[in-house]
Amino acid sequence: MTEDAQTSVHDVIMIGAGPAALSAAIYTTREDIGTVLFEKGVPGGLAAITDWVDNYPGFPEGVAGLELATNLQKQAERFGAVIEVGEVLSVKDEGEYKRLETTEGDKLAKTVLIATGSDYKKIGVPGEQEYYARGVHYCATCDGAFYRDKKLVVVGGGNSAVQEALFLTRFATHIDLLVRSEIRASDVLQKELQKNKDKITVHLNTTTDGIIGEDNKVVKVIGTNKQTGKIVEFQTDGVFVFVGLDPNSKFLQGSGVELDGIGLVKTNERLETTVPGIFAAGDIRSGATMQIASASGEGATAALMIREYLEGRKHPIQN
């Protein structure tokens, strides 16, 4: 270990600066635990680019996603958290310390919190990006209530798409479910789908080719019936896309941190990964609920576990 490396050892480096990491940083910095957060994008994560958050505790009228993210950042920085712009390329366990290869050079930490979140997979059609959070959504629990007594299009044919479509029947008057090939959801969910056929119309072998808007809002979806080759149109007030998650975990390859089948980080009840001293919280964690409030709660829990881990290093138990 070089002298330069020795002088740059941090108590904890948090990878990501979304609600989980920012909440964790509020706790660690108040405990005088030196905390650095690496964020390659915008502090606040997906919350910062969410138009409106209606289900975060303490805001009875709701709160703009950017405002919530900014306030979390300000609170963490007020206690001494340092947010650095940069990307973590790899993590390596070197025993006493963890070495992080970053775009700003190698960094050493006693503990690491992985809070890089997950991105919802996109279908990559015209209008999807342009109308994100203004008619195009990826979370029914977050945004479904905005569409009470409205018509919706749901894209996807797996478990999550069917589950979310069923959930959206609480609000929407009718849902068109566009499935590229066949329904892949479980038999139980398909039976539930049949029970709700008065509110959900399933369109098999139907692609989603474009999302059309007028006056800054979504008005219809254009697709193709793959069996007939004909263009089809669906009048709608909003589109919910559920074609899977894309966990931000590629940098963990070779780290020893175990991932689940889709690339989410496995943890124990203490939010510790398979590598001692490396923790995970928020949407990157296997089993997470993908909600801002729960991500913040997990961040607080992870911070307390990190404190206990660091205390154990100072005062190891004698056999």
pLDDT per residue as tens digits for the range 85-109: 999 999 999 989 999 999 999 999 9
pLDDT above 90: residue 182:
yes
> Which residues, other chains included, contact 173 with Cβ-Cβ below 8 Å and sequence gap of 6+?
149, 150, 151, 199
Bridge partners (DSSP) listed for residue 93: 98
CA angle 163, 167, 173 (to 5 degrees): 125
Question: What percentage of residues in the chain have a pLDDT greater than 90?
Answer: 82
pLDDT per residue as tens digits for the range 208-220: 999 999 999 999 9
| Per-residue CA distances from 111 to 200, 274, 310 (Å) | 48, 13, 8
Reported confidence tier of residue 4, pLDDT bands at 50, 70, 90: very low
User: Is residue 174 within 8 Å of residue 201, measured between CB atoms?
Assistant: yes
**How crowded is residue 89: how many other Cβ atoms within 10 Å of its Cβ?**
12
> Which CATH class for the 122-241 domain?
alpha beta
pLDDT above 90: residue 244:
no
User: Is residue 118 within 8 Å of residue 284, measured between CB atoms?
Assistant: yes
Residues of the chain with CATH 3.50.50.60: 3-119+245-314, 122-241
Q: For strands 98-102 and 105-114, give the pairing.
A: antiparallel
- Where does the chain have alpha helices with state H? 3-7, 19-30, 45-48, 65-78, 140-143, 159-168, 187-195, 292-314
Residue range 300-308: mean pLDDT, rounded: 98
Query: What six digits make up the tokens of 76?
Result: 């963490």
Cα–Cα distance, 215 to 174 (Å, whole number):
22
CATH number at 3-119+245-314: 3.50.50.60
Tell me what pLDDT residue 5 has.
Answer: 44
Tell me what pLDDT residue 316 has.
Answer: 55
pLDDT above 90: residue 278:
yes
Three-class SS of residue 249? coil
Q: Which residue from 130, 121, 237, 140 is spatially nearest to 180, judged by alpha carbons?
A: 121
- Mean pLDDT computed over every residue of the chain: 92
Tally of CA atoms within 13 A in the half-sphere of 29 that contains its CB: 22
Lowest mean pLDDT among 2-16, 19-33, 58-72: 2-16
Q: What is the pTM of this model?
A: 0.76
* Residue 76 dihedral angles phi and psi, to the nearest 5°: -65, -40
Residue range 28-53: mean pLDDT, rounded: 89
Cα–Cα distance, 218 to 236 (Å, whole number):
7
